[in-house]
Amino acid sequence: MAQKLRILKFALALCTSILIMIIFVIFCENIFPYHYEDHDIQLLDKGWSLDYRNQSYQDITLSNFKLDPPDDGDEMVLSTRLPVEGVSDATVSFLVYHSVVTAYLDGQQFYSYGKEEAAKNELVGSGYQYILLPADYYGKELTIQLDITEKDAFSDFTPILLGQGTNLYGNFIHSNRFVIFASVFLVVIGLVFLAISSFMIYFVKHSVRLTYISIFSILIGIWTGCNYKIIQLLSDNLPLNTLIEYIALYLMPLFIALLFYTIRSNQKREKIIYLCFIGVDLVFAVTVFTLQFLNLVHIPRVLTICHVIVLAEVLYCLYSIIRNLKNEKRSEKLLLVGLLFLSVFVMGDLIVYNLQKYNPGQFKSGYVSITPVGAVAFVIFLLISYLIEIYDSNNEQKEKEYFMKLAYCDYLTQTGNRAKCNEVLSELRHEKTSYGIINLDLNGLKTVNDTRGHNYGDLLISGLANVLKRCFEPYGMVGRMGGDEFIIILKNITKENLEEYLRQFQHYLNVENENNLETNISVSYGYAMDSEVFDRDPLKVYNLADARMYQMKEIFHKAGQGWQREQKNESDGLDCN
């Protein structure tokens, strides 16, 4: 039954994740009613001339042109004749990677970007160029010169569009609707759970794992927004946008390794491997960021190294989970599903990218990346996996506490049993604090059991236990050694304090007897302090208290009276020494 319940919960979590993804996609599909094809936007794809590496190409179609990846310092000049019919506020937009851009109209320069950064050998950055054309542009020759600043900056031409600026921005938003919501969702959910984990980290086990998940979600959301240039809706500083993109990308492997390090913290071999990953990620990130800060090596140039690190970590994570799949917790099985989701979506994009690169024309330039959807799925599965881990951990803790209670709790009195008492006595051997021990024993329990039955005897035992817990539990441990014998262990206490607690106990016991006329609880007791024994041995202190308790019990039997009457005849706070 328990196994079926676990399977049901796992299936429910999986279905919930898939449902969230479906709702996400439907929402993204319908939220923007904008249809850019209804607006006056032209794709400038055909009829271009290209001068590149001392070669001239005429009447080329940009989307089908096979381009050798440029090197740092290469120059590329594109020219075409603009349409004779113009639009107001005409703007040309296109995506450019790590290049200085200069635009000419009939040989007259009217726009430039990136020359100052390139002259200082600084990062030029990547992003969309929105070039406002002169009012009399129609029918003239547009020339775009690209001076490449990074090796292998790009391998094909991105679409060049002509239209009004507002329409071009609308086209950009519509074409990237999935990416916009994915990046915003990832950042927002990361910030929310980061705030939650910050409060939980000192109180809830595994909260640090939620912190790593939250930071990873924020990083992948930032990278998604920067990589697909969504950040340009907020900032037109392309060097800064590009720097943020690569910082987020290079930090992601570190938090993946930290996440799996916490998950595998109880497995020595895998813990060491993930610790090595963490070390490599830290050294890589610190080195790259330092070189970029000193302007010695631009941060995009080490992208291949980052890809290798990410690939190695993801493959090992998948291998680690699959290898132990039979023994994995259901939370880690969900983690595997999330990794598979991300891997499949990333591989899908890589396949399309390579088809576009080596087989131009296979896919239209309007293809929308699905990696952000995979990233959202991965983060959702991470969070669900974490929540299930917390749920299971709490259940395990409750089960542990329950069995600990069975092992150390007396069922009748709900106090510590003999095993618990012996454990606490043993711990006293290693502690340097002062302590006192009180032994108590019900008077006449055997007679009560014989004359009125064991149920009545149990009522007396539980009644005494309630009074003891009320008086002594705030200060120490109350335990039942067996039968009608109880023990009180009080730490960090003086003899005067102990006697004061006993006077309170006498008072509460009198009140209990007055309120419950059917029961007349009578006890004998004895106490001893650790300072009374030479080596402070707990067993010797216990035996001393026990001997004094039997002395009092002997007085009770000789007098033939209950403990309460004896206390009225004794001076207040009887000393059993």
Token duo for residue 171: 């086209």
Q: What is the CA radius of gyration of the chain?
A: 39
* 424/475 Cα distance (integer angstroms): 14
Predicted local confidence at residue 19, as pLDDT: 53
Token output for 379: 């983060």
- Secondary structure (H, E, C), 533-565: CCCCCHHHHHHHHHHHHHHHHHHHHHHCCCHHH
- Walk me through the domains of the chain, giving residue ranges and CATH numbers: 2-31+176-402 (1.20.1070), 41-173 (2.60.120.260), 418-569 (3.30.70.270)
pLDDT of residue 314: 80
- Residues 6 or more apart whose Cβ sits within 8 Å of residue 39: 163, 164, 167, 170, 171
CA–CA separation, 234 and 220 (whole Å): 18
Per-residue pLDDT of the chain (577 residues; tens, 9 = 90+): 455 455 445 555 555 555 565 555 555 555 544 444 545 788 898 999 999 988 999 999 988 887 777 888 899 999 999 988 878 889 999 999 999 999 999 999 999 999 999 999 999 999 999 999 998 898 899 999 999 999 877 777 888 999 998 889 888 888 888 788 888 888 988 898 888 888 877 766 667 878 888 898 899 899 989 988 999 999 999 999 999 999 999 999 899 889 888 877 777 888 899 999 999 999 999 999 999 999 999 999 888 888 888 888 888 877 877 776 666 677 667 776 777 777 777 666 666 655 655 554 455 444 556 777 777 777 777 777 777 777 777 777 777 777 777 778 888 888 888 888 888 888 888 888 889 999 999 888 888 888 888 888 888 888 888 889 989 988 889 999 888 899 999 999 889 999 899 998 988 888 888 887 666 788 899 999 998 988 888 999 999 999 999 888 888 777 764 444 444 444 344 443 4
Handedness of CA 510, 513, 515, 517 (dihedral sign): negative
- Listed in sequence order, the DSSP H helices in 361-428 are 371-408, 418-428
- CA dihedral for 232, 237, 239, 240, sign (positive or negative): negative
Q: Which residues is 317 bridged to in the sheet?
A: none
193: its two tokens:
């759970």
- Cα 299 to Cα 287: distance, rounded to the nearest angstrom: 10
Q: What angle do CA 213, 218, 222 make, to 5 degrees?
A: 145
